[in-house]
Amino acid sequence: MHRNHALDSLRGLAALAVALGHCVLTVTGQAAWEARLADFPRLDTATILARLAHVAAPSDAAVMLFFALSGHVLWLACARHPGGLLGGLPDWTLARLYRLLPVAMMSALPLGLLAGAGAERLVGNMLLLRYDLNGPAWSLQVEMVASLGLFLVHRAVGGRAGGLAIALALSVLALPLLRGPLPMAVYFPVFLAGALIGAMPPLLWRGPAPAPILALGLAALLLGSLLLGHGGPGRAAESLGAVLVVAWVAWRRPAWLLRPALLFLGRISYPFYLSHTLGLALAAPLVARAGDIGPAAQIGLFALLSLAIALPLAWLLHVAVEAPLMRARPRLPAPRVEHIAS
């Protein structure tokens, strides 16, 4: 199966949305991010504009896009992966560790040095056991657990779409029970919904018909938290929107997503996602020296400086760490099943 490079570019755009959204959050604060449309009548103009900036650079919605995209791609990878439930799981786990940990380790090091972190804190962040040095790493904990869950579901249902749909329904029904003891479980349904993209009828995405579907997906993705808040219904709306947008890109493969700049952003999307916080940290004292230039100019300066730091660093991490280690990953052989003649 040929790699869908349009999905790579979409991942890169999502990483950019997270980085820009965090620029906005750094300047305007949590209160503006939490505001809903219903709160606008009692808010000042600056706070309203700050909240609308989060619609333009939706870091929270972009993470839902990551999860839906991962669900789609990982489900296809499960189908190609050798071995059954027990025989294939060790190599699958090793593959996910090689995919996530090396870049996480290298990106945590400079943040630990800046924060003066002790050994226990630094190692915990490098191994994705905690994320108090690099906040966005919480999503990698979700990704790791969900990728193992997807493999188990794939093998349990034999890769069949009907079994996957049942697993999705059960995961949604189980949310009230799991939200307390297993808070990461609230995100597993969007992985399963993303996995269902491959089973969608191709007829949905041919001709002019996909335009309203894409419009609905973008509206739900970008406006879900503004209209409904960041938890519960808002997250559900963003998840639905993310699945529709990923499905549209997966089936249509629009040519504009295959432009060199977007393909480059897609290639470095994972290290960029982790390194943009270092860019923000290094940009902060430079922005402070600019004095009182107003929030819009501060956001623009944060974006310019942090991206100028993070993008080259992400490229370096990609070529020196991510790509070579993925190529060098060892493969664990699936155990052979001996057939005994009767």
pLDDT at position 6: 96
Domain extent, residue 248, equals 5-327
Rounded average pLDDT over 272-296: 94
Q: Are 317 and 103 in contact, with CB atoms under 8 Å apart?
A: yes
The reply to whether 342 falls in a domain is: no
The reply to whether 332 falls in a domain is: no
Q: Are 316 and 107 in contact, with CB atoms under 8 Å apart?
A: no
Asked if pLDDT for residue 285 goes beyond 50, the answer is: yes
The reply to whether 121 falls in a domain is: yes
Q: What percent of the chain has pLDDT over 70?
A: 94
Q: What is the chain's mean pLDDT, rounded? A: 91
Asked if pLDDT for residue 330 goes beyond 90, the answer is: no
pLDDT at position 339: 42
Burial of 217 (0-12, 13-18, 19+ CB in 10 A): buried
More confident: 268 or 339: 268
CA angle 245, 251, 256 (to 5 degrees): 70
Q: SS3 of 276, please?
A: helix
The reply to whether 338 falls in a domain is: no
- Rounded Cα distance between 97 and 105, Å, is 11
The reply to whether 337 falls in a domain is: no
- Rounded Cα distance between 76 and 46, Å, is 45
pLDDT at position 305: 97
Q: What percent of the chain has pLDDT over 90?
A: 80
The reply to whether 137 falls in a domain is: yes
The reply to whether 156 falls in a domain is: yes
Domain count, the chain: 1
The reply to whether 334 falls in a domain is: no
Helical axes 85-115 vs 295-317, angle rounded to 10° = 130
